[in-house]
């Protein structure tokens, strides 16, 4: 272990030689690559040298040692400074890799990447992300210490980026935890394992034609799970009453002992760093970066919530979470034009397609309360990648699972919810989310016209595409070319499931301000129009 000490003897000549070594090793690598940024290593070498040799506590022989200090280089374009520090302080980063800076297959990419280079804590580069990650790392440290009664010594640290954006959220409580890491629950959390019985209290929702919004059902599931899953921690961008993501009775992550007269929005429970409700404010960008820091630290399963339309503000951290394979859960509500009178500025159209395009991000849009429950199970079991849950504002029917397939079929991404009476459909109707009940109603109408329709609930393309071809062909019969996909979002991407003989009922223009049911009707989302479009693909 290398535990730097401020009592280290001073040798100005040696210090200068070391600093210049850092500078020119970095500059030489940039020069050889004919690519990169020498300015930051030149200017910051002295500061970095003092930090790494006199203050930073770390172990080059064991980069994952838990009690280490976490160093985050927010201006990732200066990556060569970090690589030089890692090489010269003894990490497994040989000189040959320094010489291969920015080359194919090297351990020294253009910007630091988590999991590629020993000693690199987070992937940085997009402005502000590293600083936000640092706040998240600090919050994880403070939270775990408060929960497991470990000693802490506060330490402030700041680099660069959206400083005000994130510092307003957390007081920067960077801490150092003592070597005794505690017993089972803590170690279990640090290894990303779910405790036995974590899902014991997840409700099964009875059939109900009135139903409930999937955001409401998901909130009930979260609150059933949270008491048995201490690692679950998170919050919303000032939208808890709308996203239903407050963890009741589990307190607010705030400095203990601070008197606050106006606790508007507070959740009941402790008021300390042991609290599990995070108040991000209207800061989606900062929220996403902090979630990544919490996940990168370990010991926490972080979630963040906002309206689906505002996921656009979180694109950089979502993308980085997927790149880093971090277990982050996003709860995006108000998922379509059906949200109604707020109008086109708040009605998501292209956002769902955009999220589905992110490699490594699992997107799930459940169709009723029981699918929402399974979706949360899948999200919490994911472990090594982020998951986005896409939830409705409006009520949707809770399907009678004695009359159709079990909601656990969501695990496969798509499943036959209800089939033609003889198991030989004339047409396949595919839908996700709130449109599932719509195609179920259309199926009944078609059946009365002696047309057999199979209904496929497809809450997740990602999960479905991961299934073997044999399963996918069982669900989407290759012999049936008459297919109609129905989703209140951009049609982009659905054509690979409906094929050349199929059609898509989607939304390829912006929304409008009116009650949600009116907007849906005017955009063609009625059982009658689904039948009309189904008959058209039948020819």
Question: Which tens digit of pLDDT belongs to each residue from 1-32?
Answer: 354 545 567 899 999 999 999 999 999 999 99
Judged against a pLDDT cut of 50, whether residue 158 lies above it is answered with no
Question: What's the pLDDT score for residue 535?
Answer: 97
pLDDT beyond 50 at 38: yes
> Which of 169-183, 199-213, 352-366 is predicted with the least confidence, judged by mean pLDDT?
169-183
Catalytic, 96? Answer no
Give residue-wise pLDDT tens across range 278-337. 999 999 999 999 999 999 999 999 999 999 999 999 999 999 999 999 999 999 999 999
461 φ, ψ (degrees, to nearest 5): -60, -40
Q: Helix, strand or coil for residue 306?
A: strand
Q: Do residues 110 and 36 make contact, with C-beta atoms less than 8 angstroms apart?
A: yes
User: What span, in angstroms and rounded, lies between the C-alpha atoms of 277 and 79?
Assistant: 34
Q: Which of 113, 141, 254, 284 is catalytic?
A: 284
Sequence spans of domains, the chain: 2-125, 193-396, 410-538
CB 162 within 8 A of CB 286: yes
**Per-residue pLDDT at 299:** 95
What pLDDT is stored for residue 55 in this prediction? 95
Average pLDDT over residues 384-390: 97
pLDDT for the residue 8? 63
In this predicted structure, the answer to whether residue 159 has a pLDDT above a threshold of 80 is no
The model's pLDDT over 411-436, given as tens digits with 9 standing for 90+, comes to: 999 999 999 988 899 999 999 999 99
Identical fold at 193-396 and 410-538? yes
Task: Identify the CATH class of 193-396.
Answer: alpha beta
* Sequence-ordered list of residues with C-beta below 8 angstroms from that of 104, at least 6 positions apart, any chain: none
Q: Average per-residue pLDDT in the chain?
A: 92
Q: What average pLDDT does the segment 38-63 reach? A: 95
Q: What percent of the chain has pLDDT over 70?
A: 92
* 62 DSSP β-pair partners: none
Answer yes or no: is pLDDT of 40 > 80.
yes
What confidence score (pLDDT) does residue 416 get?
Answer: 98
- Specify the CATH architecture of the domain 2-125: 3-Layer(aba) Sandwich (3.40)
How much is the average pLDDT of 25-52?
Answer: 96
Please list the alpha-helical segments (H only) found in 341-485: 351-356, 369-381, 435-448, 461-465, 469-475
Calculate mean pLDDT across residues 254-280.
87
Comparison of pLDDT for 166 and 451, the residue scoring more: 451
Cβ neighbors of 473 (< 8 A, separation 6 or more) are none
- The DSSP secondary structure of 394-405, one letter per residue, reads S-EEE--TTTS-
Q: Which of 166, 114, 390 is nearest to 285 (CA)?
A: 166
Q: What is the pTM for the complete model shown?
A: 0.92
pLDDT band for position 503 (cuts 50, 70, 90): very high
Q: What value does the mean pLDDT take over residues 233-253?
A: 95
CATH number for region 410-538: 3.40.50.920
């Amino acid at each position: 272990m290398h535990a730097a000490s401020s009592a280290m003897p001073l040798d100005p000549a040696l210090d200068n030689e070391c600093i210049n070594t850092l500078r020119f090793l970095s500059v030489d690598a940039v020069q050889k690559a004919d690519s990169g940024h020498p300015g930051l290593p030149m200017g910051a070498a002295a500061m970095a040298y003092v930090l790494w040799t006199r203050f930073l506590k770390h172990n080059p022989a064991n980069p994952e040692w838990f009690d280490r200090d976490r160093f985050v280089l927010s201006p990732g374009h200066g990556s060569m400074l970090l690589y030089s520090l890692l090489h010269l302080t003894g990490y497994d980063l040989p000189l040959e890799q320094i010489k291969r800076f920015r080359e194919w297959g090297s351990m020294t990419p253009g910007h630091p990447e988590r999991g590629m280079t020993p000693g690199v804590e987070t992937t940085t580069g997009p402005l502000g992300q590293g600083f936000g990650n640092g706040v998240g790392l600090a919050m994880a440290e403070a939270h775990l210490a408060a929960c497991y009664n470990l000693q802490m010594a506060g330490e402030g640290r700041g680099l660069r980026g959206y400083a005000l954006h994130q510092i307003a959220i957390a007081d920067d409580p960077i801490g150092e935890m003592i070597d005794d890491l505690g017993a089972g629950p803590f170690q279990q959390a640090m290894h990303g394992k779910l405790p036995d019985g974590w899902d014991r209290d997840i409700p099964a929702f009875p059939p109900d034609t009135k139903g409930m919004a999937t955001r409401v059902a998901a909130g009930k599931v979260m609150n059933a799970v949270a008491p048995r899953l201490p690692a679950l921690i998170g919050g919303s961008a000032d939208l808890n009453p709308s996203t239903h993501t407050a963890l009741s009775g589990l307190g607010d992550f705030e400095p203990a002992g601070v008197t606050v007269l106006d606790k508007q929005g507070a959740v009941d429970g402790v008021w300390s760093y042991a609290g599990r409700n995070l108040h991000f404010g209207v800061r989606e960008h900062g929220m996403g970066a902090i979630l990544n820091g919490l996940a990168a630290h370990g010991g926490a399963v972080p979630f963040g919530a906002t309206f689906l339309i505002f996921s656009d503000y979180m694109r950089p951290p979502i993308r980085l979470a997927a790149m880093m394979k971090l277990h982050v859960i996003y709860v995006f509500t108000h998922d379509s034009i059906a949200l109604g009178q707020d109008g086109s500025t708040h009605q998501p159209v292209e956002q769902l397609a955009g999220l589905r395009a992110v490699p490594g991000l699992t997107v799930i849009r459940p169709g009723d309360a029981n699918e929402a429950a399974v979706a949360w199970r899948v999200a919490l079991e994911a472990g090594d990648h982020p998951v986005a849950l896409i939830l409705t504002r409006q009520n949707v029917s809770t399907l009678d699972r004695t009359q159709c397939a079990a909601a656990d079929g969501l695990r496969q991404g798509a499943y036959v919810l209800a089939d033609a009476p003889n198991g030989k459909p004339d047409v396949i109707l595919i839908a996700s989310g709130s449109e599932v009940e719509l195609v179920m109603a259309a199926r009944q109408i078609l059946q009365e016209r002696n047309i057999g329709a199979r209904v496929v609930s497809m809450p997740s393309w990602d999960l479905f595409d991961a299934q073997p071809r044999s399963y996918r062909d069982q669900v989407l019969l290759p012999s049936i070319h008459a297919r109609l996909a129905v989703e209140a979002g951009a049609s982009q991407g659905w054509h690979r499931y409906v094929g050349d003989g199929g059609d898509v009922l989607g939304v390829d223009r912006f929304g409008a301000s009116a009650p949600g049911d009116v907007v849906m009707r005017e955009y063609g989302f009625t059982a009658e129009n689904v039948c009309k479009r189904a008959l058209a693909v039948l020819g």
